[in-house]
Structure 1
Amino acid sequence: MDNPRFHYIESWLLPELTLRATVYHLRPGHDRSQTYYLDIGEYGPCEAKKWRAESHYLHVVARRGQAPELVGIDQLLSAHAAGHFDTARTHLAIERATAVVDGIAGCGHDVDRWLAGQGVTLSWL
């Protein structure tokens, strides 16, 4: 990634939550509160030492203490219109994303607290 603000990124695949959780580690001078990018999709192993990741175009952007933001609905609906996602799968993606937004909001806008309630504790470098 060639961006002067970013030092590196980390991601966790969370198949049981149908999420990929990503944080972008910023270079000094670009620091701000930890921002999580939670990508809605299907994630899981497909064979030995290989995982499959299928994004459903929806992302929840969350910062501690701030309302989570759902982005990408236009991309998902375009994919649906183009025939890449059937109606049932499109609805499921929207339901999953809104459940994540609602869950985070219900935990005081704290992603770590919401994840802990789901039985998930993440560690970052």
Structure 2
Amino acid sequence: MKADLHPVKAETFDTKAGVNVDPKGFHRAVDVYAVSDFGLYMARGANHPRFGYLESWLLPRLNLRANIFHFRPGAEKDQDFYFDVADISVTGDVWTTRDLYVDLVSLTGTPVDVLDIDELAAATSAGFISAEDAERAIETTLAAVEGITRHGDDAMAWLRSEGAHLTWAESVTLTPAEP
């Protein structure tokens, strides 16, 4: 499989301004930000053609961003959670992520899928990230896969064992897709 070679995707979460600046520089209004002792929760609409709402938890100690994509009818995927392996930093009210290419797809009760290792290798070879960044991405991936597996393929059970008690919206309203 050919890797989709691209520079590191950075994203900003400004809790005071109530915005999320996506990797393409678009400022997205955030419905909810909630800071906890283990991370930052964000919920916002999305005008994406496949999904209309996004919930995310930034988990700096674990180098993970946990996501639920609320898919549009007909675009659903067989997943409960989508994890981005990322460096996460916090400066005052601003949280920043640097995506480290590797993604994990979790469907409770089934083995976790690891995606984009080829992108990690290509980005490292191209100099987009350092060998240290790549090593951290691999260590994070291995720890997450092991933890989820040891907890019966239940990502939320593993995260609770790590002290990260994630909560999610009971219901959301999808934002209309852009034409």
Is 1:106 the counterpart of 2:133? The answer is no
Kindly report which structure 2 residues correspond to 1:112-123, keeping only aligned pairs within 5 A, or say none. 112-123=156-167
When the two chains are superposed, the root-mean-square deviation of aligned CA atoms in Å is 1.8
Secondary structure at the aligned position of 1:95 is classed as helix
Is 1:91 the counterpart of 2:135? The answer is yes
Alignment length, in residue pairs?
123
Is 1:2 the counterpart of 2:45? The answer is no
Change (3 A) 1:49 1:84: same
Is 1:25 the counterpart of 2:70? The answer is yes
Q: Which runs of 4+ in 1 moved over 4 A?
A: 28-34
Residue 26 of structure 1 and its aligned partner are, at CA, apart by 2.7
Name the stretch that deviates more: 84-93 or 74-83: 84-93
Kindly report which structure 2 residues correspond to 1:63-74, keeping only aligned pairs within 5 A, or say none. 63-74=107-118
Task: Please give the TM-score of this superposition, normalised by the length of structure 2.
Answer: 0.63
Query: Residues 96-122 of structure 1: CA distance to partner in whole angstroms, max 9, x if unpaired?
Result: 111101110110000110001000111
Secondary structure at the aligned position of 1:74 is classed as helix
Is 1:60 the counterpart of 2:98? The answer is no
Q: Aligned partners of 2:120, 2:126: CA distance in 1, in Å?
A: 10
Name the stretch that deviates more: 20-29 or 76-85: 20-29
Q: Which amino acid aligns with 1:72?
A: D
Please, which runs of 5 or more residues in structure 2 have no aligned partner?
A: 1-46, 170-179
Residue identity (%): 36
Q: Aligned partners of 2:118, 2:168: CA distance in 1, in Å?
A: 31
Change (3 A) 1:75 1:30: closer
Larger radius of gyration: 2
Q: Which amino acid aligns with 1:17?
A: L
Q: Which amino acid aligns with 2:64?
A: L
Q: Aligned partners of 1:112, 1:31: CA distance in 2, in Å?
A: 20
Q: Aligned partners of 2:80, 2:148: CA distance in 1, in Å?
A: 13
Bigger helix fraction: 1
